Structure 1
Amino acid sequence: MSKIIVIKFGGSMIDSLSDEFYEGIKKLKDGGWQPLIVHGGGPAINQMLHNLKIKSEFHNGLRKTTKAVMDVVEMVLSGSMTNTIVRNVNNHGLSAIGMTGFDGPLLEAKPIDFEKLGYVGEITHVNKHLLLKVMALGMIPVISPIAPGADGKISYNINADTAAGSIATALEAEKLLFVTDVPGILKNEQLMEVATKSEILDLINEGTITGGMIPKVKAALDSLDEGMSEVMIVSGNAHIVSEGKIIGTTIKKELEEIPYVSSI
């Protein structure tokens, strides 16, 4: 099996991902990596809930998911969102397959706090053997973060960032990429080649990392806590691979001497 690289992007990025980004995924595949994609779909879910006049609320950044909301989450994530990504990957000379946690089953989850959050879950098991078999066929899994409970009947909505971290950890992936609309973490308008967890926290506290970048880097830090040795912040609007290298900011637990970019 090739080295596994898990790529996560949110629903807000799906329509804006450039041809260069997908070409970068092909370069990764051609360069000996086995990509796997995990995606969210927040904006599209919000729009569909609005269209259907279904109210939803958030608690500590997580959507409280009622049964009605969960039906919309499944429809959007496993339908239009996954299909769009699969189609785009296939159109760039690769073979992708859409999956949810129910396929196989691939994932198992439990509720985080049913009283406060409803059908919001956290992953308790990843069927890594199924994923390895799918990838051994040369396919790129495109996973929507919906998972069954232990009884296999109830659907849970899983935060895509944490789902990507859980899947990457279970597969002992070499890399986990969080895709954003910027090249990486910028300090004084310069791309940071590498940063440690403590440096990231300092940048947040001093206001260098702000707005929508904060939850992205915090998700990256959570993945380090779950067992990843390093994660990367990369751009979805440009080539993520140049001259055989992955371009972005590498976040590590401890500072080590590494090159400007991570080697493929």
Structure 2
Amino acid sequence: MTITQDTLKKNNEAQKDIRTFVMKCGGSTLAALPDAFFEDLQKLQAEGMQPVIVHGGGPAISENLAKLGIETEFVNGLRKTTEPVLDVVEMVLAGSINKQIVRRIQSSGGKALGLSGVDGGLIQAKPVSNHAEVGHVGDVTRIEASIIQGVLDMGYMPIIAPIGIDGDGQRYNINADTAAGAVASHLGASRLIVVTDVPGIMKNVNGVKKVLGTVAVQEIQDMIQTGEIYGGMIPKVKAAIECIQGKVKEVIIVDGSEPSVLSRVLQGEVIGTRIVRM
């Protein structure tokens, strides 16, 4: 039997989809994760998996803005980003938090390389539609996936800070969940793992809180309307929904403090909540 180039390409893409996964995590969550989480990540890398991490860092940005006496405000959940605010956003995300993650992975024996979305035009962006209200906040227009793939091919985990850039050199503050979804989609990854500090989406069943194993996007929106999802869980699930774009078919919300949580999820164990597109 003759194997065509198209068949080889499809087989390679299928293998990449199995091995490569994108993980999104907030900066404060990452800082609180136990060493065992990073040891699990290193084990996966040693076994041939290719993790890609996109991180946020909202609380640390707010803390540094306060220290510098720079006012900050939010408009419909988006941080109003003036040039002075953007300088701090870049300093915190691409600097301290990004390198903290790299250090922790390397201390666990893994190999990691920190990147900003500005590097090589990795995350290309344009202003959001209400930019007059929110300033330099951006929507992703393109991910230069070849850069990420190149880092993976060298044997390193890409650790990506969500700062975008346009053709004129203007920087943009990009929502980390939006950036993670775009990265996963452009890489061709079908699933994205959101590591947080909750066991998943909770629902009251006869007065007892239970974790929903699988839920569709429309069900989540309905549960927000009825009040079944409330409080601090609302931004978490909305952020996860933002990740379902392009080729991303499912987002899995897991508690990072669970033992070997990444390995178990990737082996098919039902942990946390799977949000699926339906």
State TM-score, norm by structure 1.
Answer: 0.89
1:140 aligns with 2:157: yes
The one of 236, 242, 250 equivalent to 2:264 is 242
- Alpha-carbon displacement from aligned partner over 1:200-230 (angstroms, at most 9, x marks no partner): 2233233332222212211222332444111
- Alpha-carbon displacement from aligned partner over 1:113-154 (angstroms, at most 9, x marks no partner): 331111111111111111111101111000000111112x21
Indicate conservation of the 8 Å contact 2:181/2:245, yes or no: no
User: Which amino acid in 2 is paired with 1:101?
Assistant: G
How big is the shift at 1:77?
0.7
Indicate conservation of the 8 Å contact 1:18/1:238, yes or no: no
State TM-score, norm by structure 2.
Answer: 0.85
Q: Which runs of 5+ in 1 are unaligned?
A: 255-264
CA distance in structure 1 between the partners assigned to 2:106 and 2:246 by the alignment? 31
| Residue 166 (structure 2) aligns with | 149
Indicate conservation of the 8 Å contact 1:3/1:174, yes or no: no
Higher strand proportion? 1
| Residue 131 (structure 2) aligns with | 114
User: Aligned in 2, Cα 1:12/1:108: closer, same or farther, shift over 3 Å?
Assistant: same
User: Aligned in 2, Cα 1:94/1:248: closer, same or farther, shift over 3 Å?
Assistant: same
How big is the shift at 1:32?
4.2
- Alpha-carbon displacement from aligned partner over 1:30-74 (angstroms, at most 9, x marks no partner): 454311001111111101110110011111110111111011111
Per mean C-alpha deviation after superposition, the further-off stretch among 17-26 and 120-129 is 17-26
- Alpha-carbon displacement from aligned partner over 1:168-198 (angstroms, at most 9, x marks no partner): 1111113201111112122333322211122
Indicate conservation of the 8 Å contact 1:82/1:144, yes or no: yes
Q: Which runs of 5+ in 2 are unaligned?
A: 1-15
1:52 aligns with 2:72: no
SS of residue matched to 1:142: strand
| Residue 19 (structure 1) aligns with | 35
The one of 142, 154, 175 equivalent to 1:125 is 142
SS of residue matched to 1:170: helix
1:78-117 aligned at under 5 Å gives the runs 78-112=94-128, 113-117=130-134
| Residue 44 (structure 2) aligns with | 28
CA distance in structure 1 between the partners assigned to 2:107 and 2:51 by the alignment? 16
User: Aligned in 2, Cα 1:12/1:211: closer, same or farther, shift over 3 Å?
Assistant: farther
1:228 aligns with 2:248: yes
| Residue 253 (structure 1) aligns with | 277
Larger Rg: 2
CA distance in structure 1 between the partners assigned to 2:245 and 2:93 by the alignment? 27
| Residue 221 (structure 2) aligns with | 201
Per mean C-alpha deviation after superposition, the further-off stretch among 186-195 and 129-138 is 186-195
User: Which amino acid in 2 is paired with 1:214?
Assistant: I
| Residue 8 (structure 1) aligns with | 24
| Residue 169 (structure 1) aligns with | 185
